[in-house]
Structure 1
Amino acid sequence: MDYKRFSKELETISGISLTPFKEGTKEIDWDALKENIEFLIANGVEVIVPCGNTSEFYALTIEEAKEEVKRVVEIVNGRAKVVAGIGYSMKTAIELGKDAEQVGADAVMIHMPVHPYITNEGLTDYFRGIIEALNIPSLIYFKDSSISDTVIKQLASLDKLVGIKYAINDLPRFAKIVAEVPAEENNLTWICGTAEKWAPFFFNAGAKGFTSGLVNLYPQKSFELLTALQEGDQETVWKLWREVLPFEDLRAKYNNGNNVVVIKEAMELAGLRAGVTREPVGPLDATDRQAVMDLLEAWGFELKSENMISKG
């Protein structure tokens, strides 16, 4: 594989697809999943990431995660890159990665481990072990500010490491690691891992792409921002940034607890099939729900559905 070329294909929006759950049973609504993936493809999304955090990865069983990746690959059918989220213990992450590879995923995104005790050396070994165990390329989701960026430095030269989804909103720190690990000397694309709100700042510091949950609802706005960033059209960048900021601020409430449920609520109100969230994410309260409605109306959406999420 030409890993350098693959890395360049990540210089775009990484659309973190949602996992729709049925009201009542909380089972995965596979028909709704298909509709949502088709929506992403129809609107030009070239990199789709099932089993990301906005996919509620940690609310899925291992078998559900495998099935979701398999179905997304089948639905996409080569029309976009599929980057499967994997994680948990190193053994489990490798199991998920090998399964994703077998069903035809193009790459994996390795989640930062959810573990109370992490050392720099241990995390380096964790990422390295997974990357080397798989034949398809890997991206690292780097989001723990207590972990040193030396982890990235030690892994950057691995051919199969093609991207860093950097989700620590410390711009001087990010600019420093980008300068110390030049992309042109490695197979790396730097990706802003904290979506549209932070994308302009990360692009100025060296990012070439950004992740998005908003793309599940309003892909036109996300792509307008990407184009403006790529063209260096600063006036348009900041105009668009001001338009999406209230939505992203609402998602960031309660220490990002609103991240998924705001998108799902907005999608349901707009007539898309997002379903409910699974525990430990609960429904929006009345104030936040009204804020979502106000934002959609300001953006020109016609509200087509009584949301189901707030019904619990």
Structure 2
Amino acid sequence: METKTAAEKLKTISAINITPFHPDHSIDWEALKRNVDYLLDKHLEVIVPCGNTGEFYSLTVEEAKEENRKVTEWVSGRATVIAGIGYSVDTAVEMGLDAKEAGADAVLIHMPIHPYMNEGGTAAYFRNIMEAIDMPAVIYFKNPALGDAVLKELTPLPQLAGVKYAINDLPRFTKIVRETPEDHGVTWVCGTAEKWAPYFWAAGAEGFTSGLVNLYPEISFELLQALRQGNWQRTWELWHTMVPFEDLRARHNAGNNVVVIKEALQMLGFPAGPTREPVSALSAEENQEVADLLEDWQLNKETFLKV
């Protein structure tokens, strides 16, 4: 896939699939395939294995490579696959080349997890990975301590299709979007899901990420349509419906982000399994909140489509 084409494909919902685990925390590949089939059946056009909702940093390198390969095989051209990669430069390149060989359309380069980083080094990190893999890439930019000078250096690169911007600083986001020449061809994606999507959209985003689509894609697509149509009344009605769920995911400094999705799926009869450390199960009170939200949405084992 050409970078320009990949950039166009990003102008939608990026579905971040989960990584289901067995009770012993090994990957449940059968459940993962069901998860991917569900997303395809619900017409998601972009699927991102090994994203943060997929517990990327809890996976071994070999597990992550296998997940990227399997999801690419299962999707088989029916959607755009953006394979998550990261860790050190060499490891990310190894993972990216493996995904490229498997037929993935693009890579999502996670933010470095090194405790010490600066703008020059971070820009070099992304640049070296993109140039070594030489395929369409999306940068996951989420460290507020780093300035947007990193992005200004990288947006002219021919491999860069998009930026998943996950810093909820709207004036800052607006400024970088407006200061990036249109001929760079970069698609800006709201990286903090439906709660923040309307704000990012008003500032220049043309897509948003979602974990919610793993269980309730219909409402996410309604939001996308409302944003595309500029129907702000409907946008805020939908936002009001979704925000309690996203607020629950944001608790504990976003520590609930994945486990809320997984425990909601469990309630709907889908074998999402546990989360790996350092994430633990929800409290009984928070589990009840999830159950109440599902009831409000009229989602249950009977209405949830099992694939």
TM-score class, shorter-chain normalisation, is: over 0.9
Q: State the Cα deviation string for residues 145-176 of structure 1 (Å, max 9, x = none).
A: 01010100001111110000000000000000
> What residue number does 1:6 align with?
6
Q: State the Cα deviation string for residues 174-198 of structure 1 (Å, max 9, x = none).
A: 000000013x211210000000000
The 5-angstrom pairing of residues 103-252 of structure 1 reads 103-182=102-181, 184-252=182-250
> What residue number does 2:305 align with?
none
1:3, distance to aligned residue in structure 2 (A): 2.0
Q: Find the partner of 1:263 among 261, 264, 269.
A: 261
Q: How many residues are paired up?
A: 302
CA–CA distance in 2 between the matches of 1:135 and 1:37?
Answer: 26
Question: Which runs of at least 4 in structure 1 moved beyond 3 Å after TM superposition?
Answer: none
CA–CA distance in 2 between the matches of 1:222 and 1:274?
Answer: 20
1:273, distance to aligned residue in structure 2 (A): 2.5
Kindly provide the amino acid, as one letter, of the partner of residue 19 in structure 2: T
Answering whether residue 70 of structure 2 is matched by residue 71 of structure 1, we say: yes
The alignment's TM-score, normalised by the length of structure 1, stands at 0.95
Q: Is the 8 A contact 2:6 2:106 kept in 1?
A: no
1:5, distance to aligned residue in structure 2 (A): 2.5
1:6, distance to aligned residue in structure 2 (A): 2.1
Extract unaligned runs of 5+ from structure 2: 303-307
Q: Is the 8 A contact 2:141 2:167 kept in 1?
A: yes
1:271, distance to aligned residue in structure 2 (A): 1.8
Kindly provide the amino acid, as one letter, of the partner of residue 160 in structure 2: L
Q: Secondary structure at the match of 1:263?
A: helix
Q: Secondary structure at the match of 1:83?
A: strand
Q: Secondary structure at the match of 1:210?
A: strand
1:231, distance to aligned residue in structure 2 (A): 0.6
Identity %: 58
Q: Is the 8 A contact 1:101 1:135 kept in 2?
A: no
CA–CA distance in 2 between the matches of 1:5 and 1:48?
Answer: 16
Q: State the Cα deviation string for residues 8-29 of structure 1 (Å, max 9, x = none).
A: 1110000001000001x11100
Kindly provide the amino acid, as one letter, of the partner of residue 103 in structure 1: A
Kindly provide the amino acid, as one letter, of the partner of residue 275 in structure 1: G
> What residue number does 1:308 align with?
none
Kindly provide the amino acid, as one letter, of the partner of residue 152 in structure 1: L
CA–CA distance in 2 between the matches of 1:73 and 1:86?
Answer: 14
Kindly provide the amino acid, as one letter, of the partner of residue 55 in structure 1: G
More off after superposition, 191-200 vs 133-142: 133-142
Answering whether residue 19 of structure 2 is matched by residue 19 of structure 1, we say: yes
Kindly provide the amino acid, as one letter, of the partner of residue 63 in structure 2: E
CA–CA distance in 2 between the matches of 1:115 and 1:134?
Answer: 21
CA–CA distance in 2 between the matches of 1:37 and 1:303?
Answer: 18
CA–CA distance in 2 between the matches of 1:31 and 1:195?
Answer: 27
CA–CA distance in 2 between the matches of 1:85 and 1:301?
Answer: 30
Q: Secondary structure at the match of 1:288?
A: helix
Extract unaligned runs of 5+ from structure 1: 305-312
Answering whether residue 69 of structure 2 is matched by residue 50 of structure 1, we say: no
Kindly provide the amino acid, as one letter, of the partner of residue 26 in structure 1: H
CA–CA distance in 1 between the matches of 2:46 and 2:214?
Answer: 12
